[in-house]
Amino acid sequence: MAEPNWVDKTIWTQDNLPVMRGMNSESVDLIYLDPPFNSNADYAAPIGSKAAGAAFKDTWSLQDIDIAWLDLIETKHREVARVIAAAMSKSNMSYLIYMSVRMLEMKRILKPTGSVYLHCDPTMNHSLKLLMDAIFGANNFRNDIIWQRRYGRAKGSQHLPKTWGTHNDNLLFYAGGTSVRVRPFRQISLDEAKQRFPKTDERGRLYTTIAHFSGRAMGDRPNLCYTWRGFTNPHPSGWRVSKERLEQEYQDGKVIIKADGRLERRRYFDPEVGVRTGNLWTDIAPPSGDELTDYPTQKPLALLDRIIRASSNEGDMVLDPFCGCATSMVAADRLARRWVGIDISPKAVELVVERVKADQGMFKKIVPRTDIPLRTDLGPIAIYNSLANKRHLYGEQEGHCNGCREHFPMKILEVDHIIAENQGGTHHLQNLQLLCANCNRIKGDRGQEYLIARLEQRSTKHFWKK
């Protein structure tokens, strides 16, 4: 795993795709993204609010460039292409192409020990789930978390509605690898703690009692049938835990032999950890009061606090590629995580500085950038247009231009980038191709998808580099 090729507290004002292309592989521990939802709506912050000037359009139409992207995806990521091709409308297809090329980069930069949470709503969550299965692996899917973001009921009407009210968002949680663990806990108030942990020990700590024997309904469990300090379950269902764990709990003061000879197994309330929770989150309200910036689609700090606590450690690197009003950055900063944000709106940088400073009571050194980072994890790379590269590519492409597919002598063909340098493309051999002079002039300093779209417009037959 590589170290990040950027410093802590960096925020880019850029399209996130070229920035992520320039990031080192396996350099991020946690990714949270709250992208556009394909809601077919325009969003803008009210004039006079903290986020005034922030706006974006969440509308999508299929363009020639999108089709070229789909062809490019199909050559290397056929499962991803099949998900996109199954879209039910051109708008949905355009949206999924936009998301797929970015999620492929997220997969590359996420550590195998890392996690990714994609925030969406019922508009596209079914398609995004399939897309993430194809990119991150269906075996790495962990949860579809339901966040209840609204309360109460819809406005009354004399007419019957056509749908049930939609009060929730979805968080699709995937792991970077099979060994990833999560801390599924939430913070609770003292009143709730006293309800859930109604007893108090001699030191004033709250606790509740839990079972030490398994019930008969558990069936025969011979591996958990044993005698411990003179106690034995008379039924073949045995104990709830192994003998070694039971002894450890006894040494830790969580199993008590009472004066009357009865056993009591305890679960204590830890205010630092909180209590275990599932995938239905109903206790986090939308942002309000001093937290509210009026930024379109702002999410509450408590939501990001829970995600970051659950899936990262102090000092880990947190990435938000659609960081907007910087909620994830503020939450990460509070929890002593390193962080990096990307947003196409210049307003995001202002909000990060303002919110982190207000939250911490001091100025944190935040690094704004607009450039494309250069990867440092690829090792020594030959000059991109070296003779060695040209010979290798000529053999791989069998002497054909990778645009028009006409055959040329090697000296006529030119070495060029598939992903343009100004879009995060590297000099690595996998990002190089041979083009004839005409195709190279058409492409210019743009990506290969532009060339393919132009050739399609000219009805020129072409094939992709395999």
> Where residue 405 sits, what CATH number does that domain have?
1.10.30.50
Same domain, 249 and 303: no
Looking at 253, 268, 283, which one is the last position of a domain?
A: 268
The alpha carbon torsion through 432, 436, 441, 446 (nearest 10 deg) reads -20
Instruction: Examine residue 242 and state whether it is found in any structural domain, yes or no.
Output: yes
**39-to-77, 275, 303, 325 alpha-carbon distances in Å:** 27, 35, 22, 19
Q: For position 65, what pLDDT does the model report?
A: 64
Q: For position 347, what pLDDT does the model report?
A: 78
For the chain, first and last CA: distance in Å?
28
Residue 160 sits at φ, ψ, to 5 deg, of -70, 140
32-55 pLDDT tens trace: 999 986 655 553 443 344 544 445
Same domain, 139 and 205: no
Looking at 335, 369, 403, which one is the last position of a domain?
A: 369
Same domain, 177 and 79: yes
Structural domain including 417 reads 387-457
Q: Which is higher by pLDDT, 225 or 271?
A: 225
**Residue 98 to residue 86: CA distance in whole angstroms:** 15
Task: With CA atoms as reference, report the closest residue to 104 among 82, 137, 127, 71.
Answer: 137
Instruction: Examine residue 439 and state whether it is found in any structural domain, yes or no.
Output: yes
232-240 mean pLDDT:
90
Q: What angle do CA 395, 81, 27 make, to 5 degrees?
A: 80
CATH at residue 156? 3.40.50.150
Same domain, 73 and 215: no
Instruction: Examine residue 436 and state whether it is found in any structural domain, yes or no.
Output: yes
Of the pLDDT bands very low, low, confident and very high (cuts 50, 70, 90), residue 148 is very high
Residue 80 has pLDDT above 90, yes or no: yes
Q: Which residues contact 221 (CB under 8 A, 6 or more apart)?
A: 214, 236, 237, 238
- Please give the tally of structural domains in the chain: 3
Q: Which residues contact 459 (CB under 8 A, 6 or more apart)?
A: none
DSSP string, 151-187: -S-PPP-SSPPSS----EEEEEEEESSTT-----EE-
**Residue 117 to residue 114: CA distance in whole angstroms:** 10
Instruction: Examine residue 5 and state whether it is found in any structural domain, yes or no.
Output: no
Instruction: Examine residue 89 and state whether it is found in any structural domain, yes or no.
Output: yes
**Residue 61 to residue 83: CA distance in whole angstroms:** 18
Is 0.85 topped by the overall pTM?
no
Q: 262: helix, coil or strand?
A: coil
Q: For position 43, what pLDDT does the model report?
A: 38
Reported for 455-458, long-range contacts at CB under 8 A and 24+ positions apart, including other chains, are 455/403, 455/404, 456/64, 456/67, 456/68, 457/64
Residue 403 has pLDDT above 80, yes or no: yes
**74-to-77, 107, 269 alpha-carbon distances in Å:** 5, 17, 52
C-alpha 354, offset from chain centre: 25
Q: For position 463, what pLDDT does the model report?
A: 43
61-73 pLDDT tens trace: 667 667 777 878 8
Residue 211 sits at φ, ψ, to 5 deg, of -70, 145
Of the pLDDT bands very low, low, confident and very high (cuts 50, 70, 90), residue 56 is very low
Mean pLDDT of the chain: 87
Of the pLDDT bands very low, low, confident and very high (cuts 50, 70, 90), residue 361 is low
Decide: residue 249, CB within 10 A, 0-12 exposed, 13-18 middle, 19+ buried: middle
Same domain, 177 and 200: no
Of the pLDDT bands very low, low, confident and very high (cuts 50, 70, 90), residue 304 is very high
Region of poorest pLDDT, from 1-5, 48-52, 203-207, 407-411: 48-52
Of the pLDDT bands very low, low, confident and very high (cuts 50, 70, 90), residue 465 is very low
**Residue 73 to residue 79: CA distance in whole angstroms:** 9
Same domain, 164 and 252: no
Same domain, 244 and 293: no
Same domain, 111 and 210: no
What's the one-letter identity of residue 436?
A: C
Same domain, 355 and 228: no
